[in-house]
Amino acid sequence: MYAVVEVQGKQYRADKGASLRVDRIEGEQGAALTLDKVLLVSGDSVKVGAPYVTGASVKAVIAEQTKGDKVIVFKYKPKKDYRRKQGHRQDYTVLTIEDIVG
């Protein structure tokens, strides 16, 4: 059984016991979350929402708050002595899917 959930405008496939890396969600490690924006639930039969499946939810626990790999942004214009180097690390939250209700 799996579900497709929407978290902060992005869609993720959630399997029971799997881990999801989503954009940062405020909360402490070990805190429980309920994801109500379920777009699809697949089990014995497939339920597709319009846009969300009524009565369906996904229960998750925050496993950790982490950062992604560093991305280097380098701007350069030839012959103009223009160079700018900037780094960025995105904040992520790792969720562990506990149960799919629906």
DSSP string across 39-58: EEEESSSEEE-SSS-TT-EE
Residues in the chain: 102
Domain that holds residue 43: 2-101
Q: What is the pLDDT along the chain (102 residues), one digit of tens a residue?
A: 899 999 999 999 999 999 999 999 999 999 999 999 999 999 888 999 899 999 999 999 999 999 999 999 999 999 999 999 999 999 999 999 999 997
Question: Distance between CA atoms of 100 and 60, rounded to whole angstroms?
Answer: 9
> Looking at residue 79, what is its pLDDT?
97
> Looking at residue 29, what is its pLDDT?
95
User: What total number of domains does the chain contain?
Assistant: 1
Is there a contact between 19 and 63 (Cβ–Cβ < 8 Å)?
Answer: yes
